[in-house]
A and B are shown apart, each in its own frame.
Chain A
Amino acid sequence: MLLSLRAATVRFGGRAVLDAVDLDVAEHEIVCVLGPSGSGKSTLLRAVAGLQPLDSGRILLGGHDQAGVPAHRRGVGLMFQDHQLFPQRDVGGNVAFGLRMHGASRTSQAERVRELLDLVGLPGAAGRAVAALSGGEQQRVALARALAPSPRLLMLDEPLGQLDRSLRERLVVELREVFGRLGTTVLAVTHDQGEAFALADRVVVMRDGRIAQSGTPLEVWQWPADAFVARFLGFENVVEATVGDGVAVTPWGKVPVADGAPRGTRTLLVRPAGVRLVPVGEGMRCTVVARTFRGTHVAVRLQPEDAPRLEAACALRSAPEVGDEVGVEFDEAEIAVLG
């Protein structure tokens, strides 16, 4: 394992911001920590970087305990949320900074700067002032700067947080491609699930300083570990249910579940695609209270007569209007019984 956290704990005034976190990152792996703000993601990165001392637990890099190793000797890279480019240096000066700190010669510095600026798609920008860069360009310079000293582990704090959507979607693909080409080991944190799923080999969901779930993007998306993860991923149809044989009793009535599902009182997730709209009179009677255009589909919010609201995904053409009365049936394939 390149990076191992063992019961890593950080407290801010009694409150555990990192609460006995265990985490492993293998070489060449891209791990994305996903969580709402305040869940301890950034503290995790700062602890690994050596900017935040642990209150207890251990951090190992390449098998070596990092206790007492200062930030500048850990050989890890960190790309800050708001880049933190050095305002008094030009682009080249920023990218070359880490190389200079490691005593690289001038010629090799210049060569590496050119190489990296080409890599991040800013060829010939070495002489530009950082203040004159757009957000996306700053992002690329920050990435080039973090990559320049070839860190054994590259950490990204909300790498694409402040960029507009199209740029973000393009950059996330570029980033994954670059990391794949260079074989970089990456530990990124973000609150944006789209970003995490697009970038990561493995997603780690954090909540209140603890790890709530860890798995491939597909695993996490399909089988959220608990109600918190499901809701954080944007699912709204999450309820307590009593699961029996092939059927679960929910506030929305009886709902079909897979035969092998664990029984008893469980958390049930109904994905929006599993809520099928049928003519009034069939299934559960609901009123449409909101509809949101999502590009590929329309998200419809439904109010049953005597139960929590439901979200459904409808095809563009067949989506009902606000105020319409519809019937609702459930699709077993889109229903998951969580832990």
Chain B
Amino acid sequence: MAVPVAFFAVFFAYPVTAIVARGLKTDGTWQLGRIGDVLAQPDVRQVLWFTTWQALVSTALTLLIALPGAYVLARFDFPGKQVLRAVVTVPFVLPTVVVGTAFMALVGRGGLLDELWGLRLDTTVWAILLAHVFFNYAVVVRTVGGLWAQLDPRQEEAARMLGASRFAAWRRVTLPALAPALAAAALMVFLFTFTSFGVVQILGGPTFSTLEVEIYRQTSEIFDLSTAAVLTMIQFAAVSSILALHAWTVRRRETALRLVDAAVTARRPRGAGQWALLGGVVATVAVLLLLPLGVLVQRSFGAGGLGYYRTLTRDDGGVFLAAPIEAVGNSLQYALAATVIAVVIGGLASVALTRRDAGRLVRGFDALLMLPLGVSAVTVGFGFLIALDEPPLDLRASWILVPLAQALVGVPFVVRTMLPVLRAVDVRLREAAAVLGASPWRAWREVDLPMVRRALLIAAGFAFAVSLGEFGATVFIARPENPTLPVAVARLLGRPGDLNYGQAMALSTILMIVCAVALLVLERLRTDRTGEF
């Protein structure tokens, strides 16, 4: 428990406090009057209102569209399932900037739909909502579907025998069992869309702006640190109350579920209805997830075949100090280090949180762990720069700074993935091990670990993915000669000209392929191990 707490104190609380203090403290006194001034501005209220309602609508839309997908991937067995699962996850790990650009290429001016039917959505809120669904589809499928696959179908059968209709059985038995995962997924989606940055910045134009976009603008364009600090605090407060609410609902619904091997619960679809459902999900994935990516890949080839890719290896001394292609290696190294940190910190925290004797304080930490997801990544990145620059913590020149910031965002994923499964492990199995002579640590290793190995792998995959795609914080702290992929893409997009645009598309495509390969390896690993269960 001490390790995660220290980690969060030093690498999260301290930098964020430092930057807020920088904005609101003059000559050693707090200027709290500024909060009222900022809140009184109609612009700020406008931003707050938009941030909230678009997040609510995005969450509802994502759940609506992704739940059938979660069901299909959890309960059906069909050829290409692994591929579908990986495909669904790819969007989530793409840098927000790229997602924005991909949707621009699809629904914006001169985009595919514009060319075909003259349809443009880039001036409407629909582009943002669709991009948010695109992004968060995987969150619902992974979080809810992961648990769903392990719920014993006989529970539903028991309800059917008691006279419940298929739907009633689902609603009364499966839904309550899924509720913690569902709440976790909805919360994550809400947090991501509430703090959405890259997508809104590109697709929102001048009309639509979220808090995070506004914080970025105030910090790096207008240099109004005090307004940025107030906005950061507002976002922090909003996110904290959502998290508190979530922690409360989760605690009320904590139950030990009887989990079974996921391989046993999945079966071939039966009957026209189930095949139609499967078909519908595949079609949704194709249109909503694959089409934007397809357009992205198509644009990366441009008119000149592999031209853009060839120029990536050239050190043109312009945008970068090194050839853009080196960003791939940087990204992989950083993400790997970040994954290790996130899994260790998140794993330790999860175990501490599942202990039976965990007190109120520890339980409160559950919610605190989620905060990095909600606090502006821009603030964290900037906070790292101004807070961790003097001894004993002078990390500015150290490569570890980037993985640390990325791990911060990865830890909540690890915890959220591990907790439901860890909590569902029957405590009496641990007792059985103890009576047979296993010390508590040994019992955890022998009983819990084999059962949660799957969840651990998924958690690691998630951490790796978000680390790879992290943009908001990394953009501030990555050294110019060692950019990560998303940072390189953003820099290219920020410059005019077809070549830069094409190179950005090409790099994004490479990032997409790296993620897809990593995820496919993970899926392989996963099925190999589940054979033991």
**A residues at B contact (CB < 8 Å):** 46, 49-51, 70-78, 80, 84, 86-89, 97-98, 101-102, 131, 145-146, 149
Contacts and interface: CB of A to CB of B under 8 A. Distances in A.
B426 interface: yes
A77 B261 CA distance: 28
B435 interface: yes
Interface string B506-533: 0000000000000000000000000011
Given A86-B433, A86-B450, 13 more contacts: A46-B431, A50-B434, A71-B435, A72-B435, A74-B435, A80-B428, A84-B429, A87-B533, A97-B438, A101-B433, A146-B435, A146-B436, A149-B436
9 contacts: A71-B431, A71-B434, A72-B443, A77-B436, A78-B431, A84-B429, A97-B436, A98-B436, A101-B437
A46 B432 CA distance: 11
A103 to B, nearest CB: 9
A231 B325 CA distance: 84
Nearest to A88: B450
Contact of B432 (A70, A75, A80): A80
B451 interface: yes
Contacts of B440: 70, 72
Given A87-B533, A88-B532, A97-B446, A102 B429 contact: no
Contacts of A77: 435-436
B261 to A, nearest CB: 8
A86 B432 contact: yes
A135 to B, nearest CB: 15
Contacts of B436: 72, 77, 97-98, 101, 145-146, 149
Contact of B429 (A49, A74, A78, A86): A86
B333 interface: no
Nearest to B431: A51
Nearest to A87: B533
Interface in B416-448: 426, 428-429, 431-440, 442-443, 446-447
A88 B428 CA distance: 15
A102 B532 contact: no
A188 B42 CA distance: 74
B505 to A, nearest CB: 45
B256 to A, nearest CB: 13
B149 to A, nearest CB: 15
Contacts of A146: 435-436
Nearest to A73: B437
A156 to B, nearest CB: 12
Contacts of B451: 87-88
Contacts of B435: 49-51, 71-72, 74, 76-78, 146
B432 A84 contact: yes
B526 to A, nearest CB: 15
A97 B432 CA distance: 10
Nearest to B433: A97
A89 to B, nearest CB: 8
A72 B437 contact: yes
6 closest Cβ pairs, A-B complex: A98-B436, A101-B437, A71-B434, A84-B432, A78-B435, A88-B450
A330 to B, nearest CB: 47
A51 B437 CA distance: 12
A72 B438 contact: yes
Nearest to B443: A72
A74 B439 CA distance: 11
A97 B431 CA distance: 13
A75 B434 CA distance: 10
B438 A101 contact: yes
Given A70-B434, A71-B431, A71-B434, A84 B426 contact: yes
A78 B438 contact: no
Nearest to A45: B435
A2 B166 CA distance: 55
Contacts of B433: 72, 86, 97, 101
Contacts of A73: 437
Contacts of B450: 86, 88-89
Contact of A72 (B261, B434, B447, B532): B434
A78 B533 CA distance: 24
Contacts of A50: 434-435
B426 A98 contact: no
A72 B432 contact: no
A89 B450 CA distance: 9
A186 to B, nearest CB: 15
A72 to B, nearest CB: 5
A89 B447 CA distance: 10
A84 B433 CA distance: 9
- Which residue among B261, B437, B438 has the maximum number of chain A CB atoms within 10 Å of its CB? B437
Contacts of B437: 72-73, 75, 98, 101-102, 149
Contacts of A101: 433, 436-438, 442
B228 to A, nearest CB: 50
Contacts of B432: 78, 80, 84, 86
A310 to B, nearest CB: 38
B533 A88 contact: yes
A146 B434 CA distance: 12
A267 B435 CA distance: 43
B431 to A, nearest CB: 5
A102 B426 CA distance: 23
Contacts of B446: 86, 97
Contacts of A149: 436-437
A50 to B, nearest CB: 8
A77 B437 CA distance: 9
A88 B433 CA distance: 13
A98 B431 CA distance: 12
Contacts of B447: 86
Interface in B253-267: 261
Contacts of B532: 88
Nearest to B437: A101
A157 to B, nearest CB: 10
B450 to A, nearest CB: 4
Nearest to B450: A88
Contacts of A74: 435
A13 to B, nearest CB: 16
B507 to A, nearest CB: 42
Interface in B434-483: 434-440, 442-443, 446-447, 450-451
Contacts of B426: 84
A72 B532 CA distance: 26
Nearest to A77: B435
A147 B341 CA distance: 42
- Which residue among B435, B443, B446, B533 has the maximum number of chain A CB atoms within 10 Å of its CB? B435
A72 B441 CA distance: 11
Contacts of B443: 72
A72 B443 CA distance: 10
Contacts of B431: 46, 49, 51, 71, 78, 80, 84
A49 B434 CA distance: 9
A73 B426 CA distance: 22
Contacts of B533: 87-88
Nearest to B435: A78
Given A88-B450, A88-B451, A72 B439 contact: yes
A143 to B, nearest CB: 13
Contacts of A75: 437
A49 B451 CA distance: 24
A50 B438 CA distance: 13
A107 to B, nearest CB: 19
A85 B442 CA distance: 17
B107 to A, nearest CB: 48
A75 B435 CA distance: 8
Nearest to A84: B432
- Which residue among B428, B436, B442 has the maximum number of chain A CB atoms within 10 Å of its CB? B436
